[in-house]
Amino acid sequence: MTSSHHDLPSSLETAVLCESVKMPDDAPFIRGYDFAPPASSSSSSSDAKNGAKTGKSGGGICYETLLDSLLTTGFQATSLGMCIEEVNRMLRWRLSDEKRTTTETKEGGEENTFEPSRDDLLTDEERSEIRTKIFCGFTSNLTSSGVRETLCYLAKNKMIDVFCTTAGGIEEDFIKCLAKTYIGDFALKGADLREKGLNRIGNLLVPNDNYCKFEDWLMPLLDKMLSEQNEKGTHWTPSSFIKRLGLEINDETSVFYWCAKNDIPVYCPALTDGSIGDMLYFHSFKNPGLIIDLVKDIKNCNDEAFLVKQPRKTGLIILGGGVAKHHMANANLMRNGADFAVYMSTATEHDGSDSGARPDEAVSWGKITLDARPVKCYVDCTIGFPLLVSRTFAKPGGDWVPKKA
């Protein structure tokens, strides 16, 4: 170590001015977005290597570059940047990236031929069309919020293969087709709101009349579903129940309308934990006998992952925690883990809850594969998820492309 402090005691110099290891030349360094107008139209070579470009479009702010600079900003910005990278890896993968497994070379160069698998019999073009199967679990507050529009975009464009949410996540989507949810304030007093017939979800307000409209819409449908059960032998599960509601609402602003139209399964193991449960309870007095089979749906949900055999891959996008998070992760346990995983949540792991658990805990259970590179970002999903989607699924010229018809 070279130092001008020759008069310092050696023990002090060692403690305070100990020599650093040399960082690799290509090590990423911290650099955020530069809002100042660039001196020239091109970024320096060091900026380009670091991935934190400062170029503007037409002299204004380049929001694509701003979002890309998250990766080298540090703290949760870097975690969000890593989530974006992981989702793009998820979108980029194709079965054609994997070697065919029909032959294996033994010692001495002799080939050992196996019975070809179904995937090995596909043409190169067919293999290039097979992509990651993406599971998305999200909490109910996200359809209450404006993240509903982001989820609707994903469902409309068939970008997610399997959804899972809670009862609130289902009903709030349909309720918004019938009436509006409003901006309120976290500090509004519950007692005052109760007297006014207003329900508070964080800083959102939902008039009680919205739930009355939901009841008026849902009750006749429950009568029809019971009639079909009794007369036609229709076997209802939570997912088929949700699909039926999606078709009945017939509203293009609805997440679950698009799921129904595009045959995207939606699982909700806690279907009764919300207004839908209230309606089913009330219906049991008026017209009892409707059966919704949860056991059938746990088979359906687990098969969504179990039947995706290696080398095919699955990916998890988990927004928030609770039952939706665990249901998607546990389904992937049936295939020995998801290959890609992104968690986005404000929950922490100090209390041992599954909601706050980091992805590495899921690795210990076999819900994420040993060689995966999962990422968790500690961020409110109303901020983080639209930003993530803007640089992944919705990125112009990005890695997601529609499947061939």
Pairing mode of beta strands 133-138, 162-164: parallel
So what's the pLDDT on residue 39? 65
Residues 6 or more apart from 269 whose CB is under 8 A from it? Answer: 164, 238, 294, 297, 298, 301, 323, 327
How many Cα atoms sit within 13 Å of 273 on the Cβ side? 11
Domain assignment present for 38? no
With b meaning 16 or more CB within 10 Å and e meaning fewer, what string describes 288-299? eebebeeeebbe
Report pTM.
0.91
- Residue 114 one-letter amino acid: F
Residues 6 or more apart from 139 whose CB is under 8 A from it? Answer: 165, 166, 168, 169, 319, 320, 321, 322, 324, 381
Domain assignment present for 219? yes
Domain assignment present for 283? yes
- Residue 145 one-letter amino acid: S
Q: Which two tokens stand for residue 181?
A: 């949810």
CATH number at residue 277: 3.40.910.10
Backbone torsion region of residue 35, taken as left when φ is above 0, otherwise alpha when ψ lies between -120 and 50, otherwise beta = alpha
Q: What is the pLDDT of residues 337-396, one digit of tens each?
A: 999 999 999 999 999 999 999 999 999 999 999 999 999 999 999 999 999 999 999 999
Which 8-state DSSP code applies to residue 96?
Answer: G
367 part of the active site: yes
So what's the pLDDT on residue 48? 46
Q: Give the number of domains in the chain.
A: 1
Domain assignment present for 179? yes
pLDDT beneath 50: ranges in the chain:
1, 45, 48-49, 51-52
**Mapping DSSP to helix (H, G, I), strand (E, B) and coil, where does residue 206 land?**
strand
Q: Per the residue annotation, which of 176, 243, 367, 376 is the catalytic one? A: 367
So what's the pLDDT on residue 6? 66
- Residue 125 one-letter amino acid: E
Domain assignment present for 208? yes
Domain assignment present for 5? no
Residues 6 or more apart from 334 whose CB is under 8 A from it? Answer: 302, 303, 305, 306
Per the structure, the complete domain to which residue 224 belongs is given by: 124-385
Domain assignment present for 98? no
Domain assignment present for 29? no
Q: What is the pLDDT of residues 239-291, one digit of tens each?
A: 999 999 999 999 999 999 999 999 999 999 999 999 999 999 999 999 999 99
